[in-house]
């Protein structure tokens, strides 16, 4: 019985106090034909020593190597301090800070997180996390539909330059509430949305326009003009952004004349390990006017009985545990520990450090793609400004090349044909600050080699 | 304990942790100015030591399982084995990109596959998907599958989900997110569902029912098989809210009770940490009827090779719930925990969490506290109502809760479920010792004594925490949600 | 300037306050020809990201595999909780607990450690660590010479069954103080000391006898009889023991009629990773009568002004910071954090768990050596009871076989010929609880294979 | 903060952390009974959660760099970068057996080799050995080498080691361990060594001199070259106690000053943690004269392969100091730190630790505190004497120290060096911000104010710690060194 502290003597004493003669008697209200399934499929328990050995072997079997894959998750340097502090028992093993007086550590940290995220996004307010970037977009769509009181249509414009996995998740989540996502086609030459394309919706009842910056192809959208168009047409603007990029790019709060209404995205780049896809966290910020429509926990600063500063969950009347079927969302448990890590990460980097990291991501991607473009059989696709991802086009289907390079320990980018047949020769590549010149050489050499053979 | 400045107030313009960023700025000139940020973001400007010190000190202001008994009902605050953390954080697991090919992640995928299998066995369901990122997302997936099931059969008159009044808030909120109306039914005086009310509520408009069993009032729903038959016969499906699975782990299986779909809060029953709010994992178990609609991705196995199953494999799936495959790191922790427990260990979780709850209930009852449903067995949790104390002594459940903090105990869940006045929902879990339970009883008795002598004293609690009671009204009215640059 | 928080503005302000115009002026008392050596041999600083990559690569290059090596350091399972707690900043980054009121965490922990160690050894008192097992023996010898007021000779009897590295270290450390170590030859058949051998010293002035249990060859010494002989002859008894073994073997406090006088040894088996040899910790326990002669920190329980229990360093008048050239030792910084780990380890295991671990070590070693003895060209050497190490004799020199198996990832034991030419065909092998049957198979197969070829 | 029971008092007979031990007992019957333990050892009998909770809670009762400003003179309590810890604890490093062949430890040995090289460069010495496990063991090795040197030359009339009165206690204690008599010389009024006294002390009986420079009174010994010549001409050698190397790192090299051997406290200057008492590492740098006597083992390099050098390579070595090769894990931490600093970073350690000390000294002086040696530059530390306060207000250095704890500052080193009455030796280190220094000044001023109003209040401090002042006399007289089975 690992983790159960009871001695035989304890058990005797406890049963006597309860007035039963066996533990099984405690289950006497359960219909007896349901009791004790036996569980032949569950193996015997093992000691910590044994599982440690197993996990070490399993972890060792998972390949590591240079990583040019992004497509929604990015390998960044995570300072050691981040997780050494985040996994302290007081953060790691605490519950949601409902008892404010006994949770000032987590609460103040979240307040600081909200301040940093608001600052990075140039927005008025932030919540304290959603599940991930994909589901955050879904929540943003639901929120926009609630917040846009003038719109009754439930129509959301979503460019085809938005991460397709985000669109899938959003469709799953909002699909049952009469909301429709309408696709905005991007310019096939530039890989970004032309404002002119939106003119077909001019004057229509649109609840919101989604703008991803940098977009799925790594390209920078004309966020200013798109935002102005949407707001002129009564639509809210939902920004989906990469937080690292926001150290150097115009933040959503400054898009167009009034700024985006909601900013959301994937928080993983802020100190969260890749970890095969999770746990990450979705972030969400908004303008003051919309804060009561925002889902998720929000912490406010206030004072205690003696006038001292303190922090507490606030605006709980938005949430399911108070408002039940009228809540802004069903979210309860969020990704709090990831927010803890991100807060420590952002504190360590500061605006200065994050700007340097972002700068090196961009510069490394430039270096990488210039190098790749020099390889026979490789060309760059989609012209125009980018942040830290770009599309390279091969002279043959990308998927087999991707698999081949992976078997050599190189993650060669994301094969875009998985979502769009027209792009089946394309790889979306990324080089963060962790990539060295030697890594780039290794990739370029392996790719040249792979393409040297006839397709 | 002294107050801790905001991290912003510790900063100086130009300071940052220099070991953590590249030594030089990179050239960004090729990004046109109109795309570039004009002003630096408001961020802390602090040294690495300042960060470490600040967040270490802040951490000490938290209660946590690692420091305090935490009998928070419905939340299963049990020991989070440290090995689960350290093994899930092995570099091979942490550094793997989610889009890396399956061939390079056999270690990780194998763990998930085995976890799916174990969860299917222990819940009595046909298959398991680990995609949902928390209980509420598991609920969403489950109810969405119920909807997909009816839709697939063209059975489109089903507009209602039945939810007991004792249900957790996520249940009705989820039903609404799936486009359903919520039909609430009362709890009977004996703690079970009011069968008459249920009979009346069930009908051709019923898409399904969401139940927690043991329910959130802490007792096992004795007529569960009857309920299952009733709902199924009406064409509805049964959703099991697995937040309370700890009470029956290895003893009773939701699948055997007749449920069609269930979610498991791995961050409760499988002891992954709550992390001050998350992340969790809301794995769902799927029965025969709903198999075609299982959310993606899910781990499959083929000739000893593990791979992600996608819409290609599950064409009628409700789809994906997030960008990637779920809270992988949380799932690894649950896997390690499940393996350490093994078959016997799982059963014992139910046994000892139940023993602890019944012991604590008996002791509190003996000390004169009013147990709700005193005639019933407690499951892994139970309710006391402080209505009597509130009336006689003027001291509420909330007051008891705050004063408990002073005495070193995290407060039980207060004022939930909504139907019991002045209630505390108490869940001691199996990992606490009998001495800690006795200590808690003593604390409750002490507080009642204190209230008898000086009610205002108890109402003024806590005294020994970093702050006294907070002004929540001010917090909600004069919204202060971020640092605005002033010194605090 | 990593880790230095000063901004340019801070520096200006500080220099102005001090009244100098540059930092260099602060060094104006240093002879100018000494200033600024330039340091061409020190490389440029690197970021945490860069050193992380380097260290990951270096660590990966250090081979892991089944380990049948002991000889003073043992691979045991270390529960995850041990180091997750030990590396908490409050333990990790604290100084020696001189300010008792601000160090009650460390002080209470040490008091608990002292209690556990005393219990395990069956002794009256424990200090709070020395550097390692080898230097602990040196300190024990110095202590015995001080404590044995009747002896003036400085002669110490040391059997050749004591770890030779411990003897080397002891010679280095005590060699300048007129102390001599005299070797007691063990029985070449049994690999243990016969009490009769000691008769040649009967009636002589001997300060102390050292007894290692289990001894260097893994064999159990007749500690009872040896202790009685020594004490009858006016010599103190210094026990050098393996702490894991003490869960199942007679502890020094119960040796002979009166028990050993001093018990010391290597604390590494108690939750400390192998880590290429350190940091480990030396432990030392003694009888009450000798406690004022014991080197190192000692914590006592006392009360505060209000009568509450508290803990503090005590008997500091033994130590160098008070007694200077009259101190019991020059030791100052010890191995405190390792004691923290060992305390947590012992708390997790308890007597019950430690007994199980010890039992499995013994049983695995039995299994291993019986298996090896079945290989052609291998025989067991030294007959008699053992704990978790045994000597196996090959039909050829052991060192090349050791190197060959190491290149296959197997640490095949310790080649004893390194210290004694007569044992150059011998390997000292060990199998702790971490060794699986599959590991034993792998070792046995590799060894058979190696020995199948003509020597 | 509530009192924490002893771990023993939390236990119950038969309890232990079951995940941590084999499920079954093994058969020990082949070990004869006379060798077997009769009675189980007295040990805690607790669950894993109890252990985690107990030691987590205890930890919170400590001050540490990670939680508090810690200006402990002579101890260099600066930030211990967390990366040094996490990288030294990579599994490849942790699991390597010390007797494993060099060929399997090239990663580890390479780090040590590079560390030796960097330390040799930064100290100006010919070679470095990493074997000593702390400063005091480094001192031992150094003085033992001095002895070996004289012995090797048959120069056996040298019986004395000269040590200034300001020296750390380990210096005289070490000299005695090496069989020398200690000759103490006074510090002159200007803080330097009293040259006349030194001249008198030096002679044919002089084996060597042990100096700290900057000295423990916090100033640079200006006549160091003169001293070196004097001692060398008399046939003695110079030992450099490197505990204060932080003050001159990269700025001045002991080798250039004329020292023959030095130890470096890596747990000070190279920021490896103090760990509540250790482990440290006392690497020694060796000059030309002492090269043949370098302790073993030491890492060598041959054609890109690293290996342990032993007596075969250094036949005149003083020998080994421990069973293995030194505190390897500490050395890895120092290596990571040194690499992050690099050439420039090292120099800046000296510059900013000196700036911080001089700033703090200036500020305290301005507030009216009596700086010892006010005419001198502070090195990385300095002394204030509270003799005046003791006389006028009746409040001692020790009282200030205790009251500082209440205000959140670890006390500076008090009453060391012995020659300055009522002294506090203050070392702020380079990793603290100017705001923290200002805060410390403010605290000192506050305490003096408090003492003026109510001396007893200050003498009663601390008030906000887990305990008030402890009865040290009782502790030493009624020795209570272990739990005896009673409830505490
Ligand atoms: C009964 C019950 N159902 C559902 C949930 C929701 O789970 P989660 O918080 O993981 O979304 C909870 C947990 O808070 C719960 O207690
Ligand atoms: C000046 C001085 N010398 C020597 C030492 C001894 O170093 P260690 O404690 O590492 O043995 C110290 C540290 O306490 C010191 O401050």
Digit-coded pLDDT (tens) for A274-321? 999 999 999 999 999 999 999 999 999 999 999 999 999 999 888 888
D50:A5 CB<8 A? yes
Q: Give the model confidence (pLDDT) of B173-227 as tens digits.
A: 999 999 999 999 999 999 999 999 999 999 999 999 999 999 999 999 999 999 9
Which residue has the CA at smallest separation from atom 7 of ligand 1?
Answer: B135
Cβ of B380 less than 6 Å from ligand 1 = no
Q: Which residue of B has its CA nearest to A100?
A: B470
Over range D35-57, report the average pLDDT: 97
Q: Of the candidates D12, D49, D85, which has its C-beta nearest A3's C-beta?
A: D49
In this prediction, residue A61 carries a pLDDT of: 80
Which segments of chain A belong to CATH 3.90.1150.10? 351-452
Nearest-Cα distance to chain A for B391, in Å, is 24
The Cα-based distances of D73 to C104, C321, D192, D357, D429 in angstroms read 21, 14, 18, 10, 9
D83-341: what fold? 3.40.640
In this structure, the number of other CB atoms found within 10 A of the CB of residue D120 comes to 18
In this prediction, residue B1 carries a pLDDT of: 55
Residue of D141, D265, D380 to mutate, ligand 2, most atoms within 8 A of C-beta: D265
| Secondary structure (DSSP) of D199-226 | HHH-STTEEEEEE-SS-TTSS--TTHHH
Cα C44 to chain centroid distance, Å, stands at 37
Among the bound ligands, the one closest to the CA of C329: 2
Instruction: Choose the CATH number for B350-473 among 3.50.40.10, 3.30.43.10, 3.90.1150.10, 3.40.190.10.
Output: 3.90.1150.10
Q: How confident is the model at residue D99 (pLDDT cuts 50, 70, 90)?
A: very high
Listed by start position, the domains of chain D span 7-59, 83-341, 350-473
C4:B82 CB<8 A? no
Establish if D364 touches chain C: CB-CB under 8 angstroms. no
Task: Determine if residue D432 is left, alpha or beta; phi over 0 gives left, psi from -120 to 50 gives alpha, anything else beta.
Answer: beta
Q: How confident is the model at residue C321 (pLDDT cuts 50, 70, 90)?
A: confident
A3:D82 CB<8 A? no
In terms of Cα–Cα distance, which of C55, B31, B317 is closest to A388?
Answer: B31
Over range C200-220, report the average pLDDT: 98
Residues 379-438 of A with CB under 8 A from C: 433-434, 436
Nearest-Cα distance to chain C for B348, in Å, is 20
Bridge partners of residue B129, in order along the sequence: B284
C47:A88 CB<8 A? no
Q: Among residues of chain C, what percentage have pLDDT more than 70?
A: 100
Ligand 2 atom having least distance to the Cα of D282: 10
In this prediction, residue C318 carries a pLDDT of: 85
In terms of Cα–Cα distance, which of A215, A204, A265, A199 is closest to A238?
Answer: A265
The residues, ordered by sequence, that sit 6+ positions from D442 with a Cβ below 8 Å of its Cβ are: none
Residues of A in contact with B107 (CB under 8 A): 57-62
Establish if C102 touches chain B: CB-CB under 8 angstroms. no
Distance CA C394, CA C375 (A): 10
C49:A84 CB<8 A? no
Nearest-Cα distance to chain C for A53, in Å, is 9
Q: How confident is the model at residue C320 (pLDDT cuts 50, 70, 90)?
A: confident
Q: How confident is the model at residue C60 (pLDDT cuts 50, 70, 90)?
A: confident
Q: Give the model confidence (pLDDT) of C381-432 as tens digits.
A: 999 999 999 999 999 999 999 999 999 999 999 999 999 999 999 999 999 9
Q: Give the model confidence (pLDDT) of C89-104 as tens digits.
A: 999 999 999 999 999 9
Structure tokens at A296: 């998720």
C80-345: what fold? 3.40.640
In this prediction, residue B487 carries a pLDDT of: 45
- Phi, then psi, of D149 in degrees rounded to 5: -60, -50
Q: Give the model confidence (pLDDT) of C330-348 as tens digits.
A: 999 999 999 999 999 999 9
Q: How confident is the model at residue D19 (pLDDT cuts 50, 70, 90)?
A: very high
Establish if A87 touches chain D: CB-CB under 8 angstroms. no
Establish if B86 touches chain C: CB-CB under 8 angstroms. yes
pLDDT at D488 over 50: no
Distance CA D429, CA D440 (A): 13
Q: Give the model confidence (pLDDT) of B234-271 as tens digits.
A: 999 999 999 999 999 999 999 999 999 999 999 999 99
Cβ of B212 less than 6 Å from ligand 1 = yes
Tell me how far the alpha carbon of residue D425 lies from the centroid of ligand 2, in angstroms.
14
Q: Give the model confidence (pLDDT) of A374-406 as tens digits.
A: 999 999 999 999 999 999 999 999 999 999 999
Cβ–Cβ under 8 Å, residues B126 and B291: yes
Establish if B15 touches chain C: CB-CB under 8 angstroms. yes
Residues 25-64 of A with CB under 8 A from D: 45, 47-49, 56
Paired sense of beta strands D206-211 and D237-242, if any = parallel
Which segments of chain A belong to CATH 3.40.640.10? 80-345
Nearest-Cα distance to chain C for A379, in Å, is 31
Distance CA A227, CA A88 (A): 42
In terms of Cα–Cα distance, which of D443, D478, D476, D481 is closest to D462?
Answer: D443
Mutate to test the interface with A, among C75, C88, C437 (most CBs of A within 10 A): C88
Provide the whole-model pTM: 0.97
**Does the model's ipTM exceed the 0.90 cut?**
yes
In this prediction, residue B341 carries a pLDDT of: 96
Which residue has the CA at smallest separation from atom 6 of ligand 1?
Answer: B135
- Phi, then psi, of A6 in degrees rounded to 5: -70, 130
Structure tokens at D308: 């342990």
Q: How confident is the model at residue D1 (pLDDT cuts 50, 70, 90)?
A: low
Distance CA B108, CA D427 (A): 49
In this prediction, residue A322 carries a pLDDT of: 84
Residues 230-269 of B with CB under 8 A from A: 248, 250-253, 256-257, 265, 267
Q: Give the model confidence (pLDDT) of B72-126 as tens digits.
A: 999 999 999 999 999 999 999 999 999 999 999 999 999 999 999 999 999 999 9
Q: Among residues of chain D, what percentage have pLDDT more than 70?
A: 99
Q: What is the CATH number of domain A351-452?
A: 3.90.1150.10
Over range B378-397, report the average pLDDT: 97
Q: Give the model confidence (pLDDT) of A20-56 as tens digits.
A: 999 999 999 999 999 988 899 999 999 999 999 999 9
Paired sense of beta strands B160-164 and B382-385, if any = unpaired
Residue of A97, A332, A334 to mutate, ligand 1, most atoms within 8 A of C-beta: A332
In this prediction, residue B2 carries a pLDDT of: 72
In this prediction, residue D486 carries a pLDDT of: 58
The dihedral over CA atoms of D147, D149, D152, D157, expressed in degrees to the nearest 10, equals -50
Establish if B57 touches chain C: CB-CB under 8 angstroms. no
Positive or negative: CA dihedral D307, D308, D312, D313: positive
Structure tokens at D399: 């009282």
In this structure, the number of other CB atoms found within 10 A of the CB of residue C1 comes to 18
Over range B12-21, report the average pLDDT: 94
């Amino acid at each position: 019985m690992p983790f159960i502290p009871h001695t035989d003597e304890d058990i005797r004493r406890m049963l006597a106090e309860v007035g039963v003669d066996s533990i099984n008697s405690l289950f006497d209200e359960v219909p007896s034909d349901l009791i004790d399934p036996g569980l032949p499929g569950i193996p015997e328990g093992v000691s910590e020593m044994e599982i440690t050995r197993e996990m070490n072997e399993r972890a060792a079997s998972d390949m590591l190597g240079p990583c040019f894959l992004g497509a929604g998750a990015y390998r960044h340097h995570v300072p050691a301090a981040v997780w050494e502090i985040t996994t302290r028992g007081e953060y790691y093993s605490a519950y949601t800070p409902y008892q404010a007086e006994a949770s000032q550590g987590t609460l103040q940290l979240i307040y600081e997180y909200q301040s940093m995220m608001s600052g990075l996004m140039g927005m008025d307010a932030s919540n304290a996390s959603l599940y991930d970037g994909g589901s955050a977009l879904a929540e943003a769509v639901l929120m926009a539909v609630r917040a846009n009181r003038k719109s009754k249509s439930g129509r959301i414009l979503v460019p085809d330059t938005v991460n397709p996995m985000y669109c899938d998740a959003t469709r799953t989540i909002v699909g049952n509430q009469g909301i429709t996502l309408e696709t905005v086609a991007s310019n096939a030459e530039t890989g970004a949305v032309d404002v002119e394309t939106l003119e077909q919706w001019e004057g229509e009842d649109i609840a919101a326009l989604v703008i991803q910056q940098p977009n799925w192809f790594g390209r920078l959208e004309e966020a200013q003009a798109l935002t102005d168009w949407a707001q002129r047409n009564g639509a809210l603007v939902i920004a989906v952004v990469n937080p690292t990029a926001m150290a150097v790019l115009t933040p959503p709060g400054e898009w167009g004349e009034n700024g985006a209404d909601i900013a959301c995205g994937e928080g993983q780049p802020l100190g969260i390990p890749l970890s095969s896809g999770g746990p990450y966290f979705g972030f969400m910020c908004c303008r003051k006017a919309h804060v009561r429509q925002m889902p998720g926990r929000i912490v406010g600063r206030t004072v205690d009985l003696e006038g001292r500063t303190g922090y507490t969950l606030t605006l709980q009347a938005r949430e399911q545990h108070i408002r039940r079927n009228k809540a802004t969302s069903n979210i309860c448990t969020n990704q709090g520990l990831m927010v803890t890590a991100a807060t420590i990460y952002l504190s360590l980097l500061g605006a200065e450090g994050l700007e340097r990291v972002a700068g090196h991501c961009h510069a490394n991607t430039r270096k990488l793609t210039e190098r790749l473009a020099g390889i026979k059989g490789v060309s760059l696709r989609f012209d125009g400004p980018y942040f830290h991802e770009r599309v390279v086009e091969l002279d043959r289907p990308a998927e087999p090349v991707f698999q081949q390079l992976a078997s050599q320990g190189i993650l060669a980018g994301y094969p875009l044909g998985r979502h769009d047949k027209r792009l089946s020769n394309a790889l979306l590549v990324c080089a963060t600050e962790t990539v060295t010149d030697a890594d780039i050489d290794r990739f370029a050499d392996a790719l040249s080699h792979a393409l040297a053979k006839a397709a | 304990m002294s107050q801790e400045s905001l991290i912003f107030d510790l900063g100086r313009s130009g300071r940052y942790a220099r070991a953590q960023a590249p030594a030089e700025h990179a050239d960004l000139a090729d990004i046109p100015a109109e795309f570039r940020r004009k002003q630096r973001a408001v961020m802390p400007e602090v040294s690495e030591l300042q960060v470490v010190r600040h967040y270490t000190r802040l951490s000490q202001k938290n209660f946590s399982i690692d420091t305090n008994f935490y009998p928070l009902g419905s939340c299963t605050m049990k020991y989070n084995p440290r090995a689960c953390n350290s093994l899930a954080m092995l570099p091979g697991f942490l550094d793997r990109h989610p889009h890396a090919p399956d061939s390079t992640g056999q270690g990780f995928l194998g763990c998930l596959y085995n976890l799916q299998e174990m969860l299917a066995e222990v819940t009595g369901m046909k298959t398991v998907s680990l995609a949902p990122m928390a209980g509420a997302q598991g609920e969403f997936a489950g109810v969405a599958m119920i909807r997909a099931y009816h839709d697939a059969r063209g059975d489109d008159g089903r507009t209602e989900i039945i939810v007991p009044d004792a249900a957790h808030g996520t249940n009705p909120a989820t039903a609404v997110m799936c486009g359903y109306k919520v039909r609430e039914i009362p709890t009977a005086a004996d703690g079970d569902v009011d069968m008459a009310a249920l009979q009346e509520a069930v009908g051709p408009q019923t898409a399904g029912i969401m139940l927690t069993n043991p329910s959130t009032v802490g007792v096992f729903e004795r007529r569960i098989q009857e309920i299952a038959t009733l709902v199924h016969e009406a064409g509805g499906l049964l959703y099991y809210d697995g937040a309370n699975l700890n009470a029956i782990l290895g003893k009773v299986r939701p699948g055997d009770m007749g449920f069609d779909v269930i979610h498991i809060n791995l961050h409760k029953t499988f002891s992954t940490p709550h992390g001050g709010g998350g992340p969790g994992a809301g794995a769902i178990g799927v029965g025969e009827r709903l198999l075609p609609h299982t959310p993606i991705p899910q781990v499959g196995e083929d000739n000893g090779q593990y791979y992600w199953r996608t819409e290609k494999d599950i064409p009628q799936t409700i789809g994906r719930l997030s960008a990637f495959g779920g809270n992988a790191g949380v799932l690894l922790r649950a896997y390690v925990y499940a393996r350490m427990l093994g078959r016997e260990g799982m059963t014992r979780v139910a046994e000892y969490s139940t023993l602890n709850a019944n012991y604590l209930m008996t002791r509190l009852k003996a000390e004169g506290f009013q147990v709700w449903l005193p005639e019933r067995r407690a499951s892994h949790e139970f309710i006391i109502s402080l209505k009597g104390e509130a009336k006689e002594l003027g001291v509420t459940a909330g007051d008891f809760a705050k004063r408990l903090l002073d005495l070193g105990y995290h407060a039980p869940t207060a004022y939930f479920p909504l139907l019991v006045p002045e209630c505390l929902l108490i869940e001691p879990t199996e990992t606490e010792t009998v001495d800690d339970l006795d200590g808690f009883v003593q604390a409750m008795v002490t507080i009642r004594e204190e209230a008898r002598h000086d009610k205002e004293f108890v109402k003024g609690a806590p005294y020994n925490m970093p702050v006294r009671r907070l002004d929540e009204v001010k917090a909600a009215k004069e919204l202060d949600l971020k640092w605005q640059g002033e010194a605090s």
